[in-house]
Amino acid sequence: MNNLINGILRSLGDLDLAYKGELTMNEAMEALEDSIRLDRVPPQWKKIAYPSERALVSWTENIKARIDQMNMWKEDPIKIPKVVFINRLINPSSFLTAIKQVFCRESNPQQELNKTVILTEVQKKMFWEQDLPELRKTDGALVFGFQVEGARWDMNSMCLDESLPKTSFSLVPVVNCRAAIATDKEDKTVYICPVYKTVDRMSTYVFPAQLRTKHPAAKWIISGVAMILDVPG
């Protein structure tokens, strides 16, 4: 994040000097100027940034939200946050690995990390609701920031259902991400839902989540249903 911020400030500083006539305007500066005018993330910023499909204004607001969360941790590193915005982490996989590490350390120090998985249990509350459940360390962590694409999360039945008309994404309530020992047992009431960082999907895969479903899992597989962390604003 520091590299990204420094890169943004440096390129904007050079553009400002070019406007003042103290530097010669070059191709990179012209591309930066055009991108800002068109509300697009400049190519030179994308190269050093996290994956995102947002427009420039939404992208800069998202950077601020990510920095705010990191500053909160920095100012009080001992305090465990009630809810973590997983969609504001540059590397959410590392956070999920940390949950597994705590589970292994607290339950059985001999437990192999690669034989554990992350289980996702959707709660009935949004992050802004105050009466969220208290969790012990081995219970994992409450996270927020998942959005379903291709289906919706029904708050009444607490499971996946058909998308509403003209609605591309469905916000998922707070999720308890906890570690458990991997098993081959198949649960037909659960859809193993892939989680990606962006709508582009491609190489932004994070982990497989478990979502309750009344329909056969094959229905959601054919529909390409997934959860996205960074939805374009």
Q: Which residue has the tokens 């910023």?
A: 45
Residue 77 lies in a domain: no
The residue out of 50, 72, 94 marking a domain boundary is: 72
Residue 50: is its pLDDT beyond 90? yes
**Are 126 and 200 in the same domain?**
yes
Residue 136: is its pLDDT beyond 70? no
Q: Which residue has the tokens 């994956």?
A: 51
Query: What was the pLDDT predicted at 154?
Result: 95
Residue 57 lies in a domain: yes
pLDDT per residue as tens digits for the range 57-105: 999 999 999 999 999 999 988 888 889 999 999 999 999 999 999 999 8
Residue 233: is its pLDDT beyond 80? no
Q: DSSP readout, the chain?
A: -HHHHHHHHHHHHHHHHHHTTSS---HHHHHHHHHHHTT---HHHHTTS------HHHHHHHHHHHHHHHHHHHH-TTSPPSSEEGGG-S-HHHHHHHHHHHHHHHH-TT--GGGEEEEEEE-S--TT-S-PPP--GGG-EEEE--EEESSEEETTTTEEEPPPTT--EEE---EEEEEEE------TTEEEEEEEEETT-TT-EEEEEEEEBSS-HHHHHHHT-EEEEE---
pLDDT per residue as tens digits for the range 112-134: 888 999 999 999 989 888 677 77
**Are 13 and 61 in the same domain?**
yes
Q: Are 116 and 179 in contact (CB under 8 A)?
A: yes
The residue out of 52, 72, 92 marking a domain boundary is: 72
Say what percent of the chain tops pLDDT 70. Answer: 98
190-198, strands of its sheet edge to edge: 169-171, 147-149, 226-230, 190-198, 205-212
Q: How far is CA 200 from CA 2, 172, 227, 228, in A?
A: 25, 19, 12, 9
d(C-alpha 153, C-alpha 161), whole Å: 6
Q: Are 150 and 220 in contact (CB under 8 A)?
A: yes
Query: What was the pLDDT predicted at 138?
Result: 65
Query: What was the pLDDT predicted at 224?
Result: 96
Query: What was the pLDDT predicted at 212?
Result: 97
Q: Are 163 and 152 in contact (CB under 8 A)?
A: yes
Q: Which domain holds residue 25?
A: 2-72
Query: What was the pLDDT predicted at 173?
Result: 95
Number of folded domains that form the chain: 2
Please provide the average confidence, as pLDDT, over all residues in the chain: 93
Say what percent of the chain tops pLDDT 90. Answer: 80
**Are 91 and 125 in the same domain?**
yes
**Are 128 and 223 in the same domain?**
yes
Query: What was the pLDDT predicted at 139?
Result: 84
pLDDT per residue as tens digits for the range 159-193: 999 999 989 999 999 999 999 999 888 899 999 99
Query: What was the pLDDT predicted at 137?
Result: 63
Query: What was the pLDDT predicted at 162?
Result: 95
Q: Which two tokens stand for residue 38?
A: 């068109």
Q: How far is CA 14 from CA 33, 43, 134, 153, in A?
A: 11, 16, 49, 47
**Are 106 and 156 in the same domain?**
yes
